[in-house]
Structure 1
Amino acid sequence: MAAKFELYNDKAGKFRFRLKAGNGEIVATGEAYETKASALKGVDAVKRAAANAEVDDKTD
């Protein structure tokens, strides 16, 4: 199974998304959004940013 973004409503009724790996494990979660459209824009923003993101290793 391929990775997927899952949209859902939290307990407060807000819209959220989470990114699930192919094995079903949650690997990232989004903040709470007031509207579904805003949550979808958040998904698009993550997709765009992750495509070129570098790892900034701040470990010792």
Structure 2
Amino acid sequence: MGKFSTKKGKDGQHYFNLLASNGQVILTSEGYTSTAGMNNGIESVKKNAPEDGHYDRENSKNGKFYFNLKATNGQVIGKSQMYESVASRDNGIESVKKNAPDAPIVEEE
């Protein structure tokens, strides 16, 4: 089972990563000014993750592949890591769909 790992950055912002069951980061948030904002972001990921239409599948200038997960309003709520192939990126999306909806939240130090 995956989990949301949360932490406060050195910049004072709050961040989360969605980790797969093997501990690999599959989705990263932008910074939030408050814990409440970050928790709303996590809830938005849980809600929007199952919807295939909420994923933008992208190609980077260096030839790698990534995706963004967007909320219903079109705002990006999570970004993936870079992948070497389209198949790997698509597997990452499937992992977010599978792990996010029921993932517990764990605060990291």
Paired position in structure 2 for 1:54: 104
1: CA distance, partners of 2:85 / 2:99:
21
**1:1-60 alignment runs, 5 A limit:** 3=48, 4-57=54-107
Q: Which has the higher strand share?
A: 2
**Normalization by structure 2: what TM-score?**
0.48
SS of 1:48's partner is helix
2: CA distance, partners of 1:57 / 1:32:
25
SS of 1:52's partner is coil
Offset at residue 57 of structure 1 (A)? 4.4
CA deviations 1:8-54 (Å, max 9, x no partner) are 11121111001011111000000111110110000001111102111
- Percent of counterpart pairs with the same letter? 36
Aligned residue pairs, count: 56
Question: Which runs of at least 4 in structure 1 moved beyond 6 Å after TM superposition?
Answer: none
2: CA distance, partners of 1:11 / 1:23:
27
- Give ranges in structure 1 of 5+ residues lacking alignment: none
Alpha-carbon RMSD: 1.3
2: CA distance, partners of 1:12 / 1:46:
24
**Normalization by structure 1: what TM-score?**
0.82
